[in-house]
Amino acid sequence: MKIKQFLGADMRDALRQIRAELGADAVILSTRSVGQGVEVSAACDADVPTPAAVATTASPVAIAANDAASAAAQVPASIAAFPAISAADQLSMSEELRTLRQLLERQLAAFAWNDYTRREPLRARALSELTGLGVARDVAMQVADALPTNLDAETAQQAHLVLLSQRIAVCEPPEASGGAVALLGAAGSGKTTMLAKLALRWLLEHGNDGLSIVTIDDEHIGAGEQARSLGRLLGVPSFRFANGAEFAAAAGRFASQEFVLIDTPALGADVAAAAELRAALASAPLPLRRLLLLPASAQTGVLNELLRRAAPLAPDCCAVTRCDEAATLGGVISTLLRSGLPVAYLSDGPRIPEDLRPARGHQLVARAVELTRASGASVDPELLAQQFGGQLNAAA
């Protein structure tokens, strides 16, 4: 093992020197402050040839496979003395080295994070608070990197939240301009409740003339009855079609309507079914908006899968639903920023239509902050070091 001391103006400078001389596999052994900088002891594995390589380079003598005694006599003493290592021993050593490497990587990440908090205290605080909100690492890093320099302490307390809210795209509610709105979403995302809220909002502002409710669903038990019940309750016509082809064949009858709400089947993994539904929606005789429902209570992985399944349908806006059931809003906020999909509505309860309002980025972030404060959760410094330290070290 090769061990060497490095002097740097700061930890970042020392890490650059270590990487340049010892390589990316070097590990930190110790660190201490000296004068105006830091002294870091680092180590890397020495270049030791493997037994096979030594045997190849040090023993060019041809060994007869059928004469063990002759072969032993021709092997140099240095090779003969090399201890035989069994497969089990090699596996055990590999596991121990892997464990040691993980420990050293965590230590290096902690050093990098501690150095970052000293050099960039405001950005480090922003990363800590955004992590507490449940915001994904890549999104938090983007926001922290975009913070202006030379912020005063008072402005810096809210700057990262302002930047986060400004990055959430919003759009005008689809019913404001009429036409047709197709509701897209997974089972349990709140499509039926959203349809009822949008229908009642339209009735309160425009009356029941010109509104139709359409259901395209041959899988959900009771879907047709739900549509008919809602239509009777609101006093508007409702229609059910078993599939997209039936809807496309009858789409012309809705040409005279001012507003048509279309409830679609739950998004599944069948790409062909999604393509068929997209073709059917394209036959709508009115300007069509495809509204994807993103439940705030779902985990980030579920939301990502929902976006993947909805991609063939080309949603052009979304609604964040089930806000009242979410323990944190960081996941759905991260999904919104990654996808760039504009938000039209926030739905935070079952009341129709009171619990539906036009989306505002700052309101969504404020709600996320409220949830975090109410939970009383705090971010473990070790978690921050592991989440950001490795990335900071890689960027050094």
Give tens-digit pLDDT for 88-135: 767 777 777 777 777 777 777 778 888 888 888 888 888 989 999 999
According to DSSP, residue 213 is labeled E
- Three-state DSSP state, 212: strand
> What does the alpha-carbon distance between residue 40 and residue 388 come to, in Å, rounded to a whole number?
21
Is the CB of residue 39 less than 8 Å from the CB of residue 31? yes
Tokens of 53: 């390589």
Tokens of 357: 């309002």
> What does the alpha-carbon distance between residue 264 and residue 290 come to, in Å, rounded to a whole number?
10
The pLDDT mean for the chain works out to 81
Question: Is residue 297's pLDDT more than 60?
Answer: yes
pLDDT band at residue 393 under the 50/70/90 scheme: low
Question: Is residue 34's pLDDT more than 60?
Answer: yes
Is the CB of residue 58 less than 8 Å from the CB of residue 79? yes
pLDDT band at residue 390 under the 50/70/90 scheme: low
Domain 174-359, CATH homologous superfamily name and number: P-loop containing nucleotide triphosphate hydrolases (3.40.50.300)
The pLDDT value recorded for residue 232 is 86
Angle (CA) 345 351 354, round 5°: 55
pTM over 0.85: no
